[in-house]
A = this chain, B = another copy of it.
């Protein structure tokens, strides 16, 4: 009744923004991401009849409130699947700081799903695990898949899950996360998804993404870094255009975000292979290739407003750790 799993977060090249069904986390559009190696969550789940209720230890601290409620609701889904009603202790830790622009809910719910399923002795396919992880946090479904993952949006729970486009070893693209703020966002992503459809431009984005998905798939399969980068920047700007035109508008950028966009364009003009993408926050992910990592990192370190650089590469699917923490 105990298992430990570790899962990587992911960075989306085509973003998930706006839900078709907010309760089921069915997305309005398909999305594509790279599962990351260095930004990981490791989670141990122990089901124990001696416990009075579920408990959560997050980065070494007992945590209640909304975070515990969210985890408990997710455990309920897995318990219902297994036909048990035993409370669980969940101990979870991230290798990266929260609020750094890395989706801890993606790696968190991927690790929780895989660990809880194993602890309950459930034999689930990757597809089933991905769909289940999605119920905890939409983009977690992509973190159940290693390497390059595509979330097939679907129209009901069973049909909305991620599949692998290419394994991590297919293509060594790097993501240097430039952290410019670790403050909690004024509007969490979940609330933002609800607001997406208020943008008069939203339906046009959905049509645009339909065309972008095959282009990104092709760029990945052909290892065309320029194509991938241009598509990644265009999709990030498209998502932020939807945010800016929502009612009321959502502005996740800080001054440093704009400065970094301009820097990335400048460095590229100077010959460095680098492109940005930006999630629902102010931090900037810089996509680059292994040989350029030292150069990009050196330039980032020279910028006073970059608080931290988190270097990531392609990561594997979640795995169980036999002698868990």
Listed in ascending order, the chain A residues whose CB lies under 8 Å from chain B are 200-201, 203-205, 207-208, 233-234, 237-238, 240-242, 244-245, 247, 249, 251, 253-259, 261-262
Closest to A249 in B: B237
Q: Are B241 and A244 closer than 8 Å at their CB atoms?
A: yes
Q: Are A234 and B247 closer than 8 Å at their CB atoms?
A: yes
Inter-chain contacts of A245 with B (CB < 8 A): 234, 237-238, 241
Residue in B207, B244, B251, B258 whose CB lies within 8 Å of A254: B258
Residue in B201, B234, B242, B258 whose CB lies within 8 Å of A249: B234
Q: Are B204 and A203 closer than 8 Å at their CB atoms?
A: yes
**5 residue pairs A–B, Cβ–Cβ below 8 Å:** A201-B238, A201-B241, A234-B249, A241-B244, A255-B259
Q: Specify how many copies of this chain sit in the oligomer.
A: 2
Smallest CB–CB gap between A238 and chain B, Å?
5
Smallest CB–CB gap between A241 and chain B, Å?
4
Smallest CB–CB gap between A169 and chain B, Å?
32
- C-alpha spacing A205/B256, complex, angstroms: 28
- C-alpha spacing A304/B253, complex, angstroms: 20
Inter-chain contacts of A254 with B (CB < 8 A): 258
Q: Are A258 and B261 closer than 8 Å at their CB atoms?
A: no
Q: Are B244 and A237 closer than 8 Å at their CB atoms?
A: yes
Smallest CB–CB gap between A186 and chain B, Å?
10
Q: Are A238 and B204 closer than 8 Å at their CB atoms?
A: no
- C-alpha spacing A262/B249, complex, angstroms: 11
Which of A245, A253, A256 has the most C-beta atoms of chain B within 10 angstroms of its own C-beta?
Answer: A245
Smallest CB–CB gap between A72 and chain B, Å?
35
Which of A205, A237, A241, A258 has the most C-beta atoms of chain B within 10 angstroms of its own C-beta?
Answer: A241
The answer to whether residues A240 and B251 also contact, given A201-B201, A204-B204 and a CB cut-off of 8 A, is no
Inter-chain contacts of A262 with B (CB < 8 A): 251
Inter-chain contacts of A208 with B (CB < 8 A): 200-201
- C-alpha spacing A238/B255, complex, angstroms: 19
Smallest CB–CB gap between A290 and chain B, Å?
26
Which of A244, A247, A262 has the most C-beta atoms of chain B within 10 angstroms of its own C-beta?
Answer: A244
